[in-house]
Amino acid sequence: MSAWCVNGFVIWVILFSGLAWFFPGPFQALKPAIVPGLGIIMFGMGMGLVPADFARVVAQPRAVACGLVGQFVLMPGIAWLIARSLGLPEEVQLGFIVLGCCPGGTASNVIVYLARGNVALSVTMTACSTVAAVFLTPFLIQLLGSRVVPVDAWALFRSVVTIVLVPVSAGLLLHVVLGKRVARINEVFPAVSVVIIVLVIAAVVGLSHNVLPQVGLVLAGAVFLHNLLGLGAGYLLAWGAGLSAADRRTVAIEVGMQNSGLGVALASQHFSPLAALPASLFSVVHNLTGSLLATCVRRMGQAPAVPGDSRARH
């Protein structure tokens, strides 16, 4: 049941976004649940982590460093350039910057597995970028976003601590205390995460119903470009660092796939539903491009995935 729900993620997003477009009222009412919903997702991510996921940094420092540079230097810079170059409305520009400053998304672990990458490295990179985001995401949003509209970095920091650090730490602590007994919970959490994200995206569509037609096509193209440039920049960064083919794919996917749920939550809470649109669209785009990339790699007959932690998390 969980796999069926997760595998149909893009279909569910399109279906419920369509419903929110034609019947925005019920989905607009979900706005207060956006931030708590993301907290539940981050709690589930924490339960899927173990201390070894962070200790692995010592074994592969170059790869992790590439991921962090790509995530918090390249992606924010690319987002800022695209937003400014296309002349998007200020709120949409700010939403693009918020998206670019977010850490890696947990869906990347699954895409890395399908693309025959290094899953253990992917999990470590996601964990490290999530922790780093507590400090870097508010700082970067303030640094880049204040060029568009005033930004309260301290308020953003408090939100990231509440939405990310507290639930992830609680989930990790629960895993440490309960050990293998959390396995059954971890089996259902991917489906829970999909349901929440789908409803969050539908809520943003409903809340942006009046302005979406004015920016929809341009914004979709911008989001697609941001994702592709992130994938390419991450791969080149890893290639320049002399990483293996599997690790290059891993870094590329980690850099190119953002935690769009966090972007939606921050943009909705601190700015506007319109600012949350880039992250909402990114949820669909990065799963589509990631899945296509993984399919191409597997059909090309690349070498098997790097041995190690074979867990694929959503």
- pLDDT at residue 298, as a whole number: 67
Confidence of residue 305 (pLDDT cuts 50, 70, 90): very low
Mean pLDDT score of the chain = 81
How confident is the model over 172-201, as a mean pLDDT? 79
3-state secondary structure the chain: CHHHHHHCHHHHHHHHHHHHHHCHHHHHCCHHHHHHHHHHHHHHHHHCCCHHHHHHHHHCHHHHHHHHHHHHHHHHHHHHHHHHHCCCCHHHHHHHHHHHCCCECCHHHHHHHHCCCCHHHHHHHHHHHHHHHHHHHHHHHHHHHCCCCCCCHHHHHHHHHHHHHHHHHHHHHHHHHHHHHHHHHHHHHHHHHHHHHHHHHHHHHHHCCCCHHHHHHHHHHHHHHHHHHHHHHHHHHHHHCCCCHHHHHHHHHHHHCECHHHHHHHHHHHCCCHHHHHHHHHHHHHHHHHHHHHHHHHHCCCCCCCCCCCCCCC
Question: For residues 275 and 262, what is the distance between their CA atoms, to the nearest angstrom?
Answer: 13
- pLDDT at residue 213, as a whole number: 66
Per the model's pLDDT, the better-predicted residue between 187 and 212 turns out to be 187
Terminal-to-terminal C-alpha distance of the chain: 15
Confidence of residue 26 (pLDDT cuts 50, 70, 90): confident
- pLDDT at residue 72, as a whole number: 94
Model confidence at 5: pLDDT above 60: no
- pLDDT at residue 302, as a whole number: 47
Percentage with pLDDT > 70 across the chain: 89
How confident is the model over 38-67, as a mean pLDDT? 82
Per the model's pLDDT, the better-predicted residue between 307 and 246 turns out to be 246
Model confidence at 168: pLDDT above 80: yes
Model confidence, pTM: 0.82
Q: Please write the tens of the pLDDT for every residue from 197-220.
A: 788 878 877 877 676 666 667 778
Model confidence at 68: pLDDT above 90: yes
- pLDDT at residue 32, as a whole number: 84
Per CATH, is 37-297 categorized as 1.20.1530.20?
A: yes
- pLDDT at residue 193, as a whole number: 77
Beta carbons within 8 Å of 258's beta carbon, 6+ residues apart:
75, 99, 100, 102, 103, 104, 105, 230, 279, 282, 286
Q: Where are the domains of the chain?
A: 37-297
Q: Please write the tens of the pLDDT for every residue from 125-164.
A: 888 898 899 999 999 999 998 877 778 888 888 888 888 8
- pLDDT at residue 115, as a whole number: 78
